[in-house]
């Protein structure tokens, strides 16, 4: 038993939700321990420019913002650690967590901020320009602004793809929407809305064969019609992938209530899960907004809920 570490507040995951939770928890003297996970800083580390987070009039890069948030959390003595949580056991009164498959931690409270990962097509050319920050994105609301009055491509057929296509159509000169099958997956109302927008062109049975570029930025896509096998090149400066997100919640599925797609279900108006003392923040529970600012807000909520839980228990 001597090698088991006991902590008051364990935060699983970094990003805006995790670091904000850490700032609030540390200031409340909860001595938080934060494990950064497999992607320290979360999804924002893949975003070159963040222009919509309040307080940054000149914008900031995603990685730079995450370093600032981490340093702010550390300033209040958050114990920020490398490592990923590989297993949990929430079956008893003690919340047990294993880090890197070996270290065991028992926590009075746990704040989950493991986020979600955008689904991508997996094409080498797509991943290349995603890494370069040169025209591939999975968030129209985050990055659409950079493509105003330009021509863009969006891939997807669900409600969120339709919503993002409509958002882009307000900003961009033209939006070409690529739908893999011969029909939408979206609700009828969303489908009708997209079809009624003049500067959206929809191509059915169409997939991206390759993202084209000049080595630094995207210049277009080569598509293939999966019925006729015909290929076509479409000029575009931006490619938006809207085929969904995967919440990073698999390790919690035996203990926490998840929805059909794997998002953690929180009690309405709070960060509480179905397990007492376990709280959730950020994109692990949010499939609607998925913004840095909303993630940060729920990180604050989770820390306040955890603090009240500990106070009620007399800790």
Q: What does residue 221 show for φ and ψ, rounded to 5 degrees? A: -135, 150
Q: Predicted confidence band at 46 (pLDDT cuts at 50, 70, 90)? A: low
Cα 31 from Cα 27, distance rounded (Å): 8
Q: Which residue among the candidates 139, 162, 283, 286 is catalytic per the annotation?
A: 139
CB 155 within 8 A of CB 184: no
74 or 102: which carries more pLDDT confidence? Answer: 74
Determine which one of 9, 108, 142, 286 is catalytic.
Answer: 142
Residue 195 has pLDDT above 50, yes or no: yes
Q: Which of 9, 108, 143, 305 is labelled catalytic? A: 143
User: With 90 as the cut, is the pLDDT of residue 88 above it?
Assistant: yes
Residue 172 appears among annotated catalytic residues? no
Select from 3.30.450.20, 3.40.640.10, 3.40.50.300, 3.50.50.60 the CATH code of 5-117+245-313: 3.50.50.60
Asked about 143 being catalytic, the answer comes back as yes
* Residue 31 predicted with pLDDT over 50: yes
Per-residue burial over 3-16, b if 16 or more Cβ lie within 10 Å, else e, is: eeeebbbbbbbbbb
**What tens digit of pLDDT does each residue of 286-310 get?**
988 889 999 999 999 999 999 999 9
Residue 261 CB coordination number (10 Å)? 12
Residue 48's pLDDT is what? Answer: 66
Q: Which residues contact 314 (CB under 8 A, 6 or more apart)?
A: none
CATH topology of domain 120-241: FAD/NAD(P)-binding domain (3.50.50)
Q: How confident is the model at residue 44 (pLDDT cuts 50, 70, 90)?
A: confident
Residue 1 clears pLDDT 50, i.e. is over it: no
* 13, 248 Cβ separation under 8 angstroms: yes
Q: Tell me where in the chain the CATH 3.50.50.60 domain(s) lie.
A: 5-117+245-313, 120-241
Give CA angle at 273 (269, 274), nearest 5°: 120
* Integer Cα distance of 164 and 290 in angstroms: 13
The whole model's pTM is what? Answer: 0.82
State whether residue 313 is helix, strand or coil. helix
Structure tokens of 301?
Answer: 């909520």
Work out the average pLDDT over 156-182.
95
Mean pLDDT (the chain, rounded): 94
SS3 123: coil
pLDDT tens string 52-66: 899 999 989 888 999
9 belongs to the catalytic site: no
């Amino acid at each position: 038993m001597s090698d088991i570490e006991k902590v008051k507040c364990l935060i699983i995951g970094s990003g805006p939700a995790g670091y904000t939770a850490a700032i609030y928890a540390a200031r409340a003297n909860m001595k938080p321990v934060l494990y950064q996970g497999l992607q320290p800083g979360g999804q924002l580390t893949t975003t070159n420019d963040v222009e919509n987070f309040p307080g940054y009039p000149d914008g900031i890069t995603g990685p730079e913002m995450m370093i600032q948030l981490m340093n702010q959390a550390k300033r209040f003595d958050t114990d920020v650690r490398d490592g990923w949580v590989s297993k949990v056991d929430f079956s008893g009164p003690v919340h047990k967590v294993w880090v890197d498959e070996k270290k065991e931690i028992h926590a009075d409270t746990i704040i989950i901020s493991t986020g979600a990962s955008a689904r991508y097509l997996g094409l080498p050319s797509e991943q290349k320009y995603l890494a370069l920050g040169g025209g591939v994105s999975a968030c129209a609301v985050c990055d659409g602004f950079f493509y105003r009055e330009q021509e863009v491509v969006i891939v997807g057929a669900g409600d969120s793809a339709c919503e993002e296509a409509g958002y882009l159509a307000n900003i961009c000169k033209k939006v070409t929407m690529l739908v893999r099958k011969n029909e939408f997956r979206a609700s009828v109302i969303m489908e009708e809305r997209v079809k009624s927008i003049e500067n959206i062109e929809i191509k059915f049975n169409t997939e991206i064969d390759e993202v084209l570029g000049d080595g630094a930025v995207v210049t277009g896509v080569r598509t293939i019609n999966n019925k006729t096998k015909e290929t076509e090149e479409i000029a575009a400066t931006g490619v938006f992938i809207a085929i969904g997100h995967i919440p990073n919640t698999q390790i919690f599925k035996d203990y926490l209530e998840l929805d059909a797609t794997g998002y953690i279900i929180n009690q309405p108006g709070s960060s509480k899960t179905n397990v007492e003392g376990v709280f959730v923040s950020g994109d692990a529970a949010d499939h609607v907004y998925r913004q840095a600012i909303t993630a940060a807000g729920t990180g604050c909520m989770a820390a306040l809920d955890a603090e009240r839980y500990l106070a009620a228990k007399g800790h």
